[in-house]
Each structure stands twice: as structure tokens, then as C-alpha cells.
């Protein structure tokens, strides 16, 4: 008698022919070289996203959207529900770590030029997921309806409102009216738990299928093929097991952060209170926030803020489209210029984040 799992496999295989897929998986190799460590950050990001899905669903069991209920429901969750504080703390910490690992993943791909032909679509879907992650962060931040979130949302949506032509309607659309009110909370809740996850899942599916189908990208400067076999390890099970081990480590790290640095709830939002001193956006928005502080109010008769926002939007667009203008890397040639851009961006973000954090 065959073991149960084998019979189950045969049952499915007989109907949908798993053979080809299993053979394909068996042939997948992960190249080994001195930059191999960066391969792990995509997997870690995926793991953190899965944690967000699970903890997000758990939070949904108690969360009540609405001006009168949101803050109170989180208070209830954190003080009365068993381990409610832990689930919320993990969700908040994971959100931040997710953005961090996604950033590391993005920069490593950028510096390795792994976005080059034929992986343009993988890069673009990744960038779109990154922007969505920022959207997840921004919308999720408001959901507890606390003071900091209230003003962060006022400022964030007001910034959207100063974009020429489309700004005002976009702001009204985001806020659900001219002001940040319960209507904004309702909309952000919808974006956070339905719209964004739906789009994200589709993008993630494309991203992962492409990674599996095209295999791992190899660095341009590593010798390939001909002279001796290049070192590689099978994806299944060798690389996957390493991936899983790292996931376990990340989970432990998360547990430590969530338990020893539990996420605060703060004060309930009051539309008729002043913005509290020391108010700051989340760290991943800090470098933009700090830049806006340095741009003078008027530059050549253009509003400084408008200029700053348009510049960031333009930079983001160029960054997303890099596979299409970095022709050299696609031809397999070295392109140092890309390294300089990447280095500038990393240093710029780090310095402005630190200044923003410390002032």
C-alpha cells in the first residue's frame, strides 16, 4: 500500500499531469557567486507579505471602520482580546520590515542590473508592488484613527491636492470629501483590505511565475558557461530549505520586536485639536518629507512644493523604466553610470532619512 500523500499525488497527477511541472522544478538551479546573498531578500519579502495577509485577516475579526469605532475597536483588541496586542504589533512591525526588505531587494536588483532584458516585466511588476506597499503603509496607518495618523493623512492627501490639474479631484477622491473625515477612513479601509491586496496578488503572481520560468538572473561580470561549469545549487530542495531557515529567523526577529517593542496606539484623533509637536511621517516617507522642507516656497514662480512632488514623481517614473533606457546592460555591457545613480539614490535617501529622524 502506497503512503497517503503518494496516493493523493497520484490522484491529482492522473487528472492534471503534474509530471512536467515537477520535472521543471527539479531542473531549476540557483547560481552561486559572491552576490548570491541578495537572492534571499525577495523570498523574505514574500514571507513578510504572507504574514501581513494572515495577521491582517485576524485583525479584521475585531476591527470596526468608522470615526466612532475605529480607535475604540483597536483599544478593545489590544486590551481585551487574548494576544490582540501581539497580532497588531506583528502586523505593524511586519509592515515596516516588509518595506525595508522590499527596498533591499529592489536596490540589489538595481545594482546587479538584473532588470535587463529579458526581465523587464519582472522589474516593472516589482516596482508596482513597491508603490502599492507604500500605499498599503499610508492607508493602513490611518486605520487606528489616532492623532498622528489623522494629521499624516491630512498632509499626505493635501500634497496630492497640490499636483497641477488632476490634484484637486484626486484629493477629493482619496478623502471622500474636501476634508479628512470618517469618509476618508471608510475609503482607506476599502483600499487597504480589498483594492490593494487584489491588485498586489495579481502582480505578485506574474512576478513569481516569471522568476520561476526565467530562472535567477546572473551578474554581468561573472564568467558564464564555457570554461568549467558555473557553480549552482538546486532550487528544490537546497535553496528552498535555506529560504525556509531564513524565514524562521525572520519570524523570530519579528516576535522579539513585537513583544519587546509593542506598537503604540496613541491618542484618538480629534479634528479640533492642534497637531502634536514632534509629528513625523513613517520612516519610509521621511526623505521626501525632509526634502520638501528644504525647497524654498517659490522657485522661478513655481510653487516649491509642486516642484518637489513633480521631481519625485519623475524620478520614480525613471527608476521604474530603467530597463528601457539602460540599453547597455541589456546588451550585456557594463554600465557604471547606473551604479552611480543607484549609489546617489541610496546615499540621498539615507542622509535625508537620518536628518529627518533626528530633527
Partner 1 sequence: MPVMENETGQYEKSKRDFLKYILGGSIIAWLAAILYPVFAYLKPPKQGEVEVTSVKAGPVTTFAKDSGTIIRFGNKPVILIRTSSGEFRAFSATCTHLDCTVQFRNDMGLIWCACHNGKYDLTGRNISGPPPRPLDAYRVVIQGKDVFISKNA
Binding site for partner 1 (CB under 8 A): 151, 154-155, 158-159, 169, 172-173, 175-177, 179, 183, 271-279, 292-293, 297, 303-305
- Minimum CB distance to partner 1, residue 259 (Å): 31
The DSSP H or E segment spanning 234 is strand 232-234
Per DSSP, the three-state class of 247 is helix
Cβ count near 270 (within 10 Å) = 10
Place of cell 490639474: 165
- Minimum CB distance to partner 1, residue 328 (Å): 41
> Among residues 280 and 328, whose Cβ is nearest to partner 1?
280
> Among residues 36 and 181, whose Cβ is nearest to partner 1?
181
- Minimum CB distance to partner 1, residue 146 (Å): 15
- Minimum CB distance to partner 1, residue 355 (Å): 13
What is the C-alpha R_g of the chain? 23
> Among residues 4 and 297, whose Cβ is nearest to partner 1?
297
The DSSP H or E segment spanning 279 is none
Nearest to 88 by CA among 36, 126, 52, 45: 52
> Among residues 215 and 304, whose Cβ is nearest to partner 1?
304
- Minimum CB distance to partner 1, residue 294 (Å): 10
> Among residues 101 and 153, whose Cβ is nearest to partner 1?
153
Nearest to 250 by CA among 56, 35, 51, 38: 51
Cα–Cα distances (Å) from 52 to 48, 146, 193, in that order, read: 6, 21, 11
- Minimum CB distance to partner 1, residue 278 (Å): 7
Could you give the CA distance from residue 12 to residue 113 in angstroms, rounded to a whole number? 40
- Minimum CB distance to partner 1, residue 170 (Å): 10
> Among residues 118 and 169, whose Cβ is nearest to partner 1?
169
Residue 268 β-bridge partners: 146
Per DSSP, the three-state class of 37 is helix
> Among residues 251 and 292, whose Cβ is nearest to partner 1?
292
Range list of H helices, the chain = 4-16, 19-27, 40-60, 70-79, 84-112, 120-142, 147-161, 167-175, 182-190, 196-214, 240-260, 283-294, 304-320, 322-325, 327-330, 336-358
- Minimum CB distance to partner 1, residue 302 (Å): 12
Q: Quick check: bond before 79 cis, omega within 30?
A: no
> Among residues 91 and 175, whose Cβ is nearest to partner 1?
175
Amino acid at each position: 500500500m502506497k503512503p497517503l500523500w503518494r496516493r493523493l499525488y497520484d490522484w491529482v497527477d492522473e487528472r492534471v499531469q503534474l509530471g512536467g511541472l515537477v520535472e521543471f522544478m527539479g531542473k531549476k538551479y540557483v547560481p552561486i557567486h559572491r552576490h548570491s546573498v541578495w537572492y534571499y531578500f525577495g523570498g523574505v519579502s514574500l514571507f513578510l507579505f504572507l504574514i501581513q495577509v494572515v495577521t491582517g485577516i485576524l485583525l479584521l475579526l475585531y476591527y470596526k471602520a468608522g470615526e466612532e469605532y475605529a480607535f475604540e475597536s483597536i483599544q478593545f483588541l489590544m486590551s481585551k482580546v487574548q494576544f490582540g496586542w501581539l497580532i497588531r504589533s506583528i502586523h505593524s512591525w511586519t509592515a515596516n520590515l516588509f518595506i525595508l526588505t522590499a527596498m533591499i531587494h529592489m536596490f540589489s536588483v538595481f545594482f546587479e542590473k538584473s532588470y535587463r532584458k529579458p526581465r523587464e516585466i519582472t522589474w516593472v511588476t516589482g516596482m508596482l508592488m513597491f508603490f502599492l506597499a507604500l500605499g498599503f503603509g499610508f492607508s493602513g496607518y490611518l486605520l487606528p484613527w489616532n492623532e498622528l495618523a489623522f494629521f499624516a493623512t491630512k498632509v499626505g492627501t493635501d500634497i496630492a491636492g497640490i499636483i497641477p490639474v488632476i490634484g484637486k479631484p484626486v484629493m477629493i477622491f482619496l478623502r471622500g470629501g474636501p476634508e479628512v473625515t470618517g469618509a476618508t477612513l471608510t475609503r482607506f479601509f476599502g483600499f487597504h483590505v480589498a483594492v490593494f491586496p487584489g491588485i498586489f496578488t495579481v502582480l505578485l503572481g506574474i512576478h513569481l511565475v516569471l522568476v520561476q520560468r526565467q530562472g535567477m538572473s546572473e551578474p554581468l561580470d561573472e564568467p558564464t558557461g564555457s570554461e568549467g561549469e558555473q557553480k549552482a545549487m538546486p532550487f528544490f530542495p537546497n535553496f528552498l530549505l535555506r529560504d525556509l531557515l531564513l524565514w524562521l529567523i525572520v519570524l523570530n526577529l519579528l516576535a522579539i520586536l513585537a513583544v519587546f517593542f509593542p506598537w503604540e496606539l496613541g491618542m484618538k484623533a480629534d479634528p479640533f485639536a492642534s497637531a502634536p509637536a514632534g509629528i513625523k511621517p513613517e520612516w519610509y516617507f521621511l526623505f521626501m518629507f525632509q526634502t520638501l522642507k528644504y525647497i524654498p516656497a517659490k522657485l522661478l514662480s513655481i510653487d516649491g512644493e509642486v516642484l518637489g512632488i513633480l521631481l519625485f514623481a519623475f524620478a520614480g517614473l525613471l527608476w521604474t523604466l530603467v530597463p528601457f533606457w539602460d540599453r547597455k546592460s541589456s546588451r550585456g555591457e557594463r554600465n557604471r553610470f547606473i551604479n552611480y545613480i543607484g549609489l546617489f539614490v541610496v546615499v540621498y535617501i539615507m542622509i535625508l532619512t537620518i536628518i529627518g529622524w533626528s530633527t
